[in-house]
Amino acid sequence: MEPTRTAARTAGGRRDQILREAARLFAERGFHGVGVDEIGAAVGISGPGLYRHFAGKDAMLAELLVGISGRLHSAGRMRVAEADGAAAALDALVRGHIDFALDDRALIILHDRELDRLRDSDRKLVRQLQRQYVEQWVAVVREVHPGAAESEVRAAVHAVFGLLNSTPHLGPHGGLPGRSATAVLLHRLALGAFAALDSAHNREVTY
């Protein structure tokens, strides 16, 4: 209740509120398609007032992209470390990624759509975090499906990311089942795709 804490919390909350709205607008109409006045209007202030909280429009995007890549990466690392065995680790990775895809739809969209709009240093950082995240997956998937070549596994991981990230692109319109049902379905589809890696070199063997 101390004024400093309250002020700090208010300021931080303000920043977060701005970031949330900016993410939504960027995802809807693209980074270049959104003006600072719109972002300001979305949080009740107007235009240049945003510059009390951020250095500029680019800085908002940078913070969003670095944030989501970092959270994906660190959450993945934690889930793998806590998992009991490779299969459980893959299960946890899939589950965690689905949570991100369903809960932070806007960020997932921005994450692979507006990366080029970043300053060089930020873009390098984001790309590095993305690469490390992919490598976490590749290591786990290779352990679960040892028969596949590494390049195949890497391509498969990217493909499964595309699969899991498909729901954000469906827009907010309904049509797909509830959240938990969607999560279960995506989980099953992802593991099914990975399972297809096993029939790579020895087709028609299990029949």
Partner DNA sequence: CGACCACGTTAGCGGTCGTTAACACGGCTG
Partner DNA sequence: CAGCCGTGTTAACGACCGCTAACGTGGTCG
Task: Provide the sign of the torsion angle of the four alpha carbons 123, 129, 135, 141, taken in this order.
Answer: negative
The listed partner (DNA, its own copies, none) that binds 135, CB under 5 to 8 Å by sort, is none
Measured from the Cβ of residue 43, the count of other Cβ atoms closer than 10 Å reads 17
Minimum separation from the CB atom of position 15 to its own copies (A): 26
Minimum separation from the CB atom of position 78 to its own copies (A): 25
The listed partner (DNA, its own copies, none) that binds 196, CB under 5 to 8 Å by sort, is its own copies
Using alpha carbons only, give the angle 28, 167, 78 rounded to the nearest 5 degrees: 105
Tokens of 171: 């827009």
User: Which of 74, 10, 73, 69 is CA-nearest to residue 43?
Assistant: 10
* Subset of 103-162 contacting DNA (CB under 7 A): none
Among 6, 74, 177, 201, interactor with its own copies by CB under 8 A: 177
Among 112, 119, 124, 146, interactor with its own copies by CB under 8 A: 112
> With contacts defined by CB under 8 A, how many residues of the chain interact with its own copies?
47
E-only strand ranges, the chain: none
Among 49, 66, 96, 114, interactor with its own copies by CB under 8 A: 114
Residue 203 within binding range of DNA, rule CB under 7 A: no
Among 74, 103, 162, 179, interactor with its own copies by CB under 8 A: 162
Specify the residue, 6 or 128, whose C-beta has the smaller distance to its own copies: 128
Task: Provide the sign of the torsion angle of the four alpha carbons 159, 71, 28, 118, taken in this order.
Answer: negative
**204 Rama class: left (phi>0) / alpha (psi -120 to 50) / beta:** left
* Subset of 13-72 contacting DNA (CB under 7 A): 14, 32, 34-37, 40, 44-49, 51-53, 56-58
Mark the segment that binds its own copies (CB under 8 A) among 10-18, 38-46, 53-61, 159-167.
Answer: 159-167
Residues contacting residue 143 through CB under 8 Å, at least 6 positions apart: 86, 89
On whether the CB atoms of residues 185 and 95 are closer than 8 A, the answer is no
Tokens of 7: 């002020």
Judged by the rule CB under 7 A, the positions of this chain that interact with DNA are: 3-4, 7, 10-11, 14, 32, 34-37, 40, 44-49, 51-53, 56-58
